């Protein structure tokens, strides 16, 4: 787990230093993580991926399916690369 965290931190740093964009995406927990970043005064160029259809109160079945398959993340990654 430590190795994965260090790798993620390294990728974040490289992206930030090269004027890249950091994309934040999460399912089920509404927009908690993305909202906290902005309220904390995030310093990095962050692009939250916001789709209310995946929030618990609107689309828990859809978000559960996406979490199990990873399809949405894979497709979005193809688009941004």
Per-residue pLDDT tens over the stretch 11-36: 989 998 998 888 877 765 556 666 67
For residue 26, the enclosing domain spans 2-80
E strand segments, 3-78: 22-24, 46-48
For residue 10, what pLDDT band results from cuts at 50, 70 and 90?
Answer: very high
The predicted structure's pLDDT at residue 39: 67
* Most distant CA pair in the chain, distance: 38
User: Is the whole-model pTM more than 0.85?
Assistant: no
Q: State the total domains in the chain.
A: 1
Interacting residues of 33 by C-beta distance below 8 A, sequence separation 6+: 24, 26
């Amino acid at each position: 787990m430590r190795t994965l965290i260090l790798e993620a931190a390294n990728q974040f740093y490289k992206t930030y230093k090269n004027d890249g964009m950091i994309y934040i995406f999460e399912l089920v927990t509404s927009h908690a993580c993305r909202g906290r970043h902005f309220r904390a005064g995030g310093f990095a160029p962050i692009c939250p991926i916001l789709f209310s259809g995946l929030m618990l109160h609107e689309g828990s079945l859809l978000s559960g399916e996406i979490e199990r398959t990873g399809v949405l993340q894979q497709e979005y990654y193809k688009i941004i690369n």
